[in-house]
Amino acid sequence: MTDTFTAFVIDDADGKPRGGFRTLTREDLPDHDVLVEVSHSTVNYKDGLAVSGKGRIARKLPMVAGIDLAGTVVESRSPDWRPGDRVVVNGWGLSETQWGGYSRYQRLKPEWLTRLPDAFTPEEAMGIGTAGYTAALCVDALESWGAIRPGGKEVLVTGAAGGVGSVAVALLARRGYPVTASTGRPETHEYLAGLGATGFIDRATLLEKGPPLQKERWAGGVDSVGGQTLVTALSQTVWGGAIAACGLAGATDLPGSVFPFILRSVALLGIDSVMAPQDRRDRAWARLARDLDRDALTSMYRVEPMDKLPELADAILAGQIRGRVVVRIDG
């Protein structure tokens, strides 16, 4: 085990958060029960905000950024984990209130760790990352609600070419749902069709304000965009259908009407991956292991070295990332 290692740390710079690479030792890490050697992390939208300093993600400083990590247990004071166990961590306040994944080593609470399914390497697990795990939570919520059924009406995925959207498309298509992908990037249609999308809708169409009840089209939907897009999706959802809302890539407001809820029994299912209980996490990862095609997964992500974090953060905030970015943690 190396004595010193590199981490991406957010510090206070005259009252503003500023990120940079720092050299740490194990003594610098929090005093939690499980020491994990991190091999891979990812870049999510929230990471983009944290690394660039454009969003106040860290609620205390200094903070090691990175909301996801995958790696191997090195030391454990918990009976639940042993050296050599392969683990994945998504959320639990990593990079907000707890030190996160952009660090070769991290100490974590035992209850934050999820056992990595045998089906995945740590690199693949981070190819999925919080985005993919959240997509699985969304599909799980739609199925549990009874809103969607294989071979039934179309299921809408917004922000389809993004991280959450790509995995949602692949998971839904694999289960036999007809998937319509909403994207603002026509050049991604071939990629999305490869993941199983059978229909496409320009994201500008969903951004148009319309009547609160429109022609019933969607059995359900996974929305990572929010705002008018979510309102339009709700207004076009069939009686008894549901939209799982997990994101705000477009907007945070909900400028709509209650009519879809009270006249069509449409459900708005909120999805928070950060504090999701362990049983839902296990179910989501089991779904990913069962339904996520390996070729589809490989086509969804690329691997980048840790020193590229600043430019990757800018790219994700500018909407220039297709699918997912895995970060190799070395040093």
Which residues bind to ligand NAP, rule: CB under 6 A?
44-46, 130-131, 134, 159-165, 183-185, 203, 224-225, 229, 246-250, 271-274, 316, 319, 321
Name beta bridge partners: 221. Answer: 156, 243
Cβ proximity to ligand NAP: between 108 and 316 the closer is 316
Cβ proximity to ligand NAP: between 2 and 278 the closer is 278
- If DSSP codes are grouped into helix, strand and coil, which group holds residue 257? coil
Question: Cβ 137 to ligand NAP, closest distance in Å?
Answer: 8
Question: Cβ 140 to ligand NAP, closest distance in Å?
Answer: 13
Cα gap 69→126, rounded to integer Å:
7
Cβ proximity to ligand NAP: between 45 and 81 the closer is 45
Nearest to 223 by CA among 129, 309, 140, 158: 158
Q: CB–CB of 143/259 below 8 Å?
A: no
Cα gap 182→156, rounded to integer Å:
7
Cβ proximity to ligand NAP: between 213 and 315 the closer is 315
Question: Cβ 17 to ligand NAP, closest distance in Å?
Answer: 17
Cβ proximity to ligand NAP: between 34 and 325 the closer is 325
Name beta bridge partners: 25. Answer: 4
Cα gap 107→69, rounded to integer Å:
12
79: cis peptide before it, omega within 30°?
Answer: no
Cβ proximity to ligand NAP: between 101 and 159 the closer is 159
E strands, 194-260, in order: 199-202, 218-223, 237-245
Question: Cβ 220 to ligand NAP, closest distance in Å?
Answer: 17
Helix (H) or strand (E) holding 126: helix 122-145
Cα gap 198→179, rounded to integer Å:
6
Question: Cβ 127 to ligand NAP, closest distance in Å?
Answer: 12
Cα gap 150→179, rounded to integer Å:
10
Instruction: Report the residue number whose CB is nearest to ligand NAP.
Output: 162
Cβ proximity to ligand NAP: between 108 and 233 the closer is 233
Question: Cβ 159 to ligand NAP, closest distance in Å?
Answer: 3
DSSP state of 117: P
Burial class (CB in 10 A: 0-12, 13-18, 19+), 307: middle
Residue spans of alpha helices (H) in 3-113:
45-52
Question: Cβ 24 to ligand NAP, closest distance in Å?
Answer: 27
Cβ proximity to ligand NAP: between 35 and 297 the closer is 297
Cα gap 321→301, rounded to integer Å:
10
Cα gap 53→62, rounded to integer Å:
13
Question: Cβ 253 to ligand NAP, closest distance in Å?
Answer: 13
